[in-house]
Amino acid sequence: MKIGPKFSAFNIIAKGLKIQKKRMDLVAENLANAETTKTAAGGPYKRKYLTVHATDFKIPGQNVGEQQTISLETTSADHIRIPAQPQSETQETNFSLQTQTDNTPGEMVYMPDHPDADENGYVQMPNVNVITEMVDMIAASRGFEANVTAFNGAKQIAKDSLEI
């Protein structure tokens, strides 16, 4: 759902929430497959991570660097006339989310009775480090919480502005 340009803070926060949710989903997938020694592709599970890139920077309806002039209208001749002040619009940024696969080899563990063991009795384990994943999960949840706090602040500002 896209919210209008007057509420661009909500759009920015929504993008941040989407990124943090995707990060948490990948961490959950990595943790669920931390012991998977054979996938449909044939090898052990490979750790996945998220990369985020800004795809473009644009100011809606304007070239970068230009400013828009906003003038306040008066309804009575007794009102004070405020001269127009240049205002720049909020910058819109689009993001590209890409799931990458970490191709570093996992640890070789000696388990001669394991069905995926090689001729020497070693099993190639996934390259998922549970401690690293837990740190990533905490960072993603803190980022999500920060975005929720920002959303609540923006919501309160919008609510307070309606009471003026």
Residue 139 has pLDDT above 90, yes or no: yes
Q: Is residue 123 part of a domain?
A: no
Q: Is residue 138 part of a domain?
A: yes
Which amino acid, 68? Q
Q: Is residue 42 part of a domain?
A: no
Q: What is the domain count for the chain?
A: 1
Q: Is residue 58 part of a domain?
A: yes
Q: Is residue 144 part of a domain?
A: yes
Cα–Cα distances in Å, from 158 out to 11, 13, 77, 87? 14, 14, 30, 20
Q: Is residue 112 part of a domain?
A: no
Using only C-alpha atoms, what is the Rg of the chain?
25
When pLDDT is averaged across residues 67-86 and rounded to a whole number, the result is 58
Q: What is the span of the domain harbouring residue 144? A: 5-34+48-101+128-162
Give the pLDDT band (50/70/90) at residue 80: low
Place of tokens 């828009």: 68
When pLDDT is averaged across residues 36-47 and rounded to a whole number, the result is 92
Q: Is residue 82 part of a domain?
A: yes
Q: Is residue 81 part of a domain?
A: yes
The token pair that represents 141 in the structure block = 């949840």
Provide the whole-model pTM: 0.70
Place of tokens 């509420």: 7
